[in-house]
A and B are shown apart, each in its own frame.
Chain A
Amino acid sequence: MTPYSAVATLGRWGRERVEGLGWAGRFVGDTLRAAGDVKTWGPEVTKHATSLGVQSLPIALYIALFTGIVLALLASYSFTGAVPLYFVGTLVEKTVTMELAPVLTGLALAGRVGANIAAQLGTMRVTEQIDALETLAFDPQSYLVVPRVIAGTIMFPIIVGLAMVVGVGAGWLASVLLLDLASVDFVKGMRLFFDSFDVRYGLVKAGSFGMAVTWIGCMQGMTARGGAEGVGRAATSAVVYSAVIILVLDAFWAMAWLLGRDA
């Protein structure tokens, strides 16, 4: 490889990244513009809310259940002999509410919801159904993207909120049944440093995750090319990008809300 071609390759890579960002920005802009077409996306929201949200509840609660149990046991293991055991309640509440419920649920739903959306829309793209919609003067953004993004943004906080309750409840039950910890002590620890901000923080994060996962799934599906292989690549990319964006957003919210906040 000559120096010239090496520099050219670097330039192409940079251009493609910038192009990707530009395309993503244009896609987001199109979605926001399509959000005004309520008559088109309105009737579709509950259908997608059911498939993305209601049907995702079991996996989300299942994850929360075991997360709470394991967290209580880990906290007990770490605290024994050094920190009063009622701090298990504090740790379970803080960790589940602020971090684990939103992030783990987000990652799980990124796999389920993101891949589902990318596969659906990718199949529609490669089978030219989206082209047919455009031919029939349907805006694919209004009909396909907006209801999914809105459903995801609404349902993710609901699912994460229930996961918070189940996770903390599971940690509580595990502490009482498996550890030598009285119920009142767990509740004391849970209430010790509880702030309703913890819940708000987790729910806002969950909403942003839902929006990001559905948007990325839609983008990857809408840009799928090359038949079934392209659909598979789109689904994989949707999961990967969703997971990465979830972690980036997690860090963003932590820096935006937690840095400098007086607990």
Chain B
Amino acid sequence: MKRANDFAVGITILLGIVIIVGATLWVSQADFGRRDQAVTARFRDVGGVRIGTPVVVRGVQAGRVDAMELADNGFVEVRLELDQGVTLPREPVVLLNESSLFGEWQATITEREAATRDEELARQLSEASLNDDLLPGATLPDIARLTAVAGRIAGDVASVAERVRVAFDDQAAREMRNSIRNFADLSTVLAQTVREQSNNLTTMSSEVRGGVESLVRSAELLRLVAERVDSSTTRGEIKQIVDDAAEAARQLRETGRRLVAISGQLGRSQDRLESMLTRGDSIATRISEGRGSLGLMINDPSLYRNSDSLMIQLRALIADVQKNPRRYINLRIF
């Protein structure tokens, strides 16, 4: 009986201790034998952070606050135990903030760049950066401070609302109704205008789209031309073409100059021709009118006959001369 009592008491005590200690360790998330990494951060104020407060990296719990102590120059140094394998971000800083409305705090390790958008945080971080191994830290305002600010804002809003209530009498209500009605009309007009503009914009956009497509095609062609030009440039054909064009232009200029000269000569020849034609016309007129010797010769048959007779006599004379030259030519030497 006595041994049974001893065993019962012993097993109860043993089980009790094991269960209580085990449950306590499990709830407090104790982790023995894990070689965690530790970092220390420096803050001006740690707010509501306590030992055991979770440490969060990129939104995931990655450790806990392990120790806190007051440091020199009005700082507080907080040691953070991080889980194995946790990689810190580039230029890490530690922000202490409330994780809910109910007083839960957390330490967030993040990049400095993400934290310095807020002027106050940037100031705190700059203050806590002392060129040593400690991470700079900053504390975000807690809910109580935010609530106090919100309370002041709410008071201001209430004050404004009270003033509006006083100012908003029946006359104001009627005017407001009219204004709303006018606004409704205006809104209808605006809607119509917007619809029209929308249609226009649709048309414009389709045209612009067409234009853009044309531009794309042109760009493609230009690209092809550029490629060709590029390849031509590479082989020196363009230079040859330009040289040939320069030579042709020079020849054209020369030809033009000559043409100008010929043109001037032609002008003068035309003048002379016209003068000659005028004279010829005058001569022809006189001839046709039978004036002058030629006119008489052309228009008077007796002249033709005389001439013909003369010609006959001349031929006879020439034949006689040829036949009897000594009759007509007496050549003496000395």
Are A and B genuine complex partners?
A: yes
Q: Is residue B19 within 8 Å, beta carbon to beta carbon, of the partner chain?
A: yes
The winner among B20, B100, B104 for most chain A CB atoms within 10 A is B20
- Contacts A83-B102, A161-B19, A191-B29: A199 and B24 contacting too (C-beta < 8 A)? yes
Chain B contact residue count (CB 8 A cutoff): 23
Q: Is residue B245 within 8 Å, beta carbon to beta carbon, of the partner chain?
A: no
In chain B, positions 6-20 with a C-beta closer than 8 Å to chain A are: 6, 8-10, 12-13, 15-17, 19-20
In chain A, positions 34-83 with a C-beta closer than 8 Å to chain B are: 43, 46-47, 49-50, 53-54, 57, 83
Nearest chain B CB to A175 CB, angstrom units? 15
Selected contact of A199 from candidates B2, B20, B50, B100, CB within 8 Å: B20
A195 to B5, CA, bound (A): 35
Which residues from chain A contact B102 at a C-beta distance below 8 Å? 83-84, 87
> A residues touching B (Cβ–Cβ < 8 Å)?
43, 46-47, 49-50, 53-54, 57, 83-84, 87, 93, 154-155, 157-159, 161-162, 164-165, 168, 190-192, 194-196, 199, 203, 262-263
- 12 additional A-B pairs beyond A84-B102, A154-B13, A263-B50, beta carbons within 8 Å, are A46-B2, A57-B12, A83-B102, A155-B12, A162-B19, A162-B20, A165-B20, A165-B23, A191-B27, A191-B29, A192-B104, A196-B28
Q: Can you sample 17 A-B contacts with CB below 8 Å?
A: A43-B2, A46-B2, A47-B2, A49-B5, A57-B12, A154-B13, A155-B12, A155-B13, A161-B17, A165-B19, A191-B27, A191-B28, A194-B27, A199-B20, A199-B24, A203-B20, A262-B50
Nearest chain B CB to A155 CB, angstrom units? 8
> B residues touching A (Cβ–Cβ < 8 Å)?
2, 5-6, 8-10, 12-13, 15-17, 19-20, 23-24, 27-29, 50, 52, 100, 102, 104
Nearest chain B CB to A82 CB, angstrom units? 11
Q: Are A161 and B20 in contact (CB under 8 A)?
A: yes
Selected contact of A49 from candidates B9, B28, B100, CB within 8 Å: B9
Which residues from chain A contact B15 at a C-beta distance below 8 Å? 162
Which residues from chain B contact A165 at a C-beta distance below 8 Å? 19-20, 23
The winner among A49, A159, A263 for most chain B CB atoms within 10 A is A49
A200 to B104, CA, bound (A): 23
Which residues from chain B contact A154 at a C-beta distance below 8 Å? 13
- Contacts A161-B20, A164-B20, A165-B20: A47 and B12 contacting too (C-beta < 8 A)? no
